[in-house]
Structure 1
């Protein structure tokens, strides 16, 4: 366990666009710690200069995190307080820091996370999609085949899905969403959140894709893509009819294949139908 004299690792969110979103508490922590671990020191020094914060800044990013984590923990254990920041938003959310925080926890070093800017929650709060349950999927794969494979695996996901996307892939991703998820699913994209040209586009997948294709300005910046979850299509009666079909088909097919075929026939989600068949076996 860490000694009482050990320092604290502070997880400090930084603005995703609007400098006014750096909280007074974040400013106080960044000014008072012994050093700041930053994803990109050049980018972070520009931010810190805006608030007259003069402090030691060193790099900690995905390529050197494992190497540097032990040295950071040594400094923390000797009594130094250190802040961790990323280029924008909350560290560890599709940004480096997991390895460091995990090792700090294992070493008994105190970790304190400050609340603050995060593109996920900012976008969701303004999207008008269900937010009682959602899943964050980060960046989709860059390669088309892998991207479509990932989207296919989410086809039956009932929660609102949130993705990050870059400007040079946004059209490819929207086209793949339409190909895999269909054109009628509700979709909202937030672009350049908190910045001068912040934009939200909403509608069906097809409608949003059309808007982005028609306006090259909507293809610039950083994006949060939010897709409505799979609809609950079946009533209890539909489920029972689909289950009867599964039980008939399984005499000739493996259960997973039988569930997939019955789901297509009855418009029921295959994962749900597969579970119903398993439950029927156990009763």
Structure 2
């Protein structure tokens, strides 16, 4: 429940299935299918059928897709081709040619939903532009799984993907999110989790609630919840392993108004190589504090 219902009497838009009926193999369609993010038992019956019947399976890693099919007891009868970030643009025309001639192209990634920090967007964009049918076989999602397990508000949230690797770029990205009131979901590589949490503390404050979700649906699934400073200390205390999703609570409704609370964020960005005046101007614009007051407070803090 809670999903919007369709207008039964409306005519289908170009590239979509008629109301009440999903596109099926044989009609000619590009199908995005979610794959398990850990536990193979999460594979849907529809994914199994699509793997067995699709004319072409476009896989991020063909070996992993074949291994998944073997675990599911499915024999792939169609052609399996690689479809990843380095060849997606060049591969799209070939895939859409199959669809245009009545074939089904199944797009899968190593785990989760195509297009969500994974290949798929370019071929979908091209299919929509060409007026070709596109549909989805929904299923596992690391974003939604982590959000649900985090214990943080789920009524409004945003997905920010991977944080920039360079400290200055990361600080600027987080500064723009400092007043974001929605719960935020982020991906991060395990060896950068501690560094990312330090940056989150600098940008959002030590007490902002968060969660580190690791190895979701797998044998060693772990969810750590608490203030960002606590989570950062945990990450520094030992090696973080596996696939990681970070979930961070949104800014309080009144937002940060105290200049003193913003000084650590400003100094962290300056230490990362940015100009003090530039940082102060950006932070003041986002938070609404007086620029000269923030500049004076930052200068005073640097002298101590």
Q: CA deviation at 1:50?
A: 1.6
Find the counterpart in structure 2 of residue 162 from structure 1.
185
1:257/1:196 Cα in 2 relative to 1: closer, same or farther (>3 Å)?
A: closer
2:82 aligned with 1:53: no
Find the counterpart in structure 2 of residue 249 from structure 1.
none
Find the counterpart in structure 1 of residue 47 from structure 2.
26
Structure 1: segments with no counterpart, 5+ residues = 239-254, 266-283
Q: Measure, in 1, the Cα distance between the counterparts of 2:286 and 2:120.
A: 42
Q: CA deviation at 1:47?
A: 0.9
1:80/1:11 Cα in 2 relative to 1: closer, same or farther (>3 Å)?
A: same
Q: Structure 1 length as normaliser, TM-score?
A: 0.80
Q: Measure, in 2, the Cα distance between the counterparts of 1:97 and 1:190.
A: 25
2:150 aligned with 1:122: no
| Match among 233, 243, 253 for residue 222 of structure 1 | 243
Partners of 1:160 and 1:226 within 8 A in 2: yes
Partners of 2:176 and 2:286 within 8 A in 1: no
| Match among 189, 195, 206 for residue 212 of structure 2 | 189
Q: Measure, in 2, the Cα distance between the counterparts of 1:125 and 1:105.
A: 31
Q: Structure 2 length as normaliser, TM-score?
A: 0.75
Any residues of structure 2 matched to 1:62-141 within 5 Å, and which?
62-141=85-164
Partners of 2:210 and 2:227 within 8 A in 1: yes
1:145/1:257 Cα in 2 relative to 1: closer, same or farther (>3 Å)?
A: closer
Find the counterpart in structure 2 of residue 250 from structure 1.
none
* Aligned Cα root-mean-square deviation (Å): 2.5
Structure 2: segments with no counterpart, 5+ residues = 1-13, 18-25, 258-283, 295-304
Q: CA deviation at 1:262?
A: 7.8
* SS in structure 2 of the partner of residue 187 of structure 1: strand
* SS in structure 2 of the partner of residue 260 of structure 1: coil
Q: Measure, in 2, the Cα distance between the counterparts of 1:178 and 1:116.
A: 33
1:264/1:129 Cα in 2 relative to 1: closer, same or farther (>3 Å)?
A: farther
Number of residue pairs the alignment of both structures matches: 244
Q: CA deviation at 1:256?
A: 5.1
* SS in structure 2 of the partner of residue 117 of structure 1: coil
Q: CA deviation at 1:38?
A: 0.5
1:259/1:197 Cα in 2 relative to 1: closer, same or farther (>3 Å)?
A: closer
Give a deviation string over 1:228-262, Cα, whole Å, max 9, x none: 1110127xxx9xxxxxxxxxxxxxxxx95994318
Q: Measure, in 2, the Cα distance between the counterparts of 1:197 and 1:132.
A: 28
Find the counterpart in structure 2 of residue 243 from structure 1.
none
Q: Measure, in 2, the Cα distance between the counterparts of 1:33 and 1:180.
A: 47
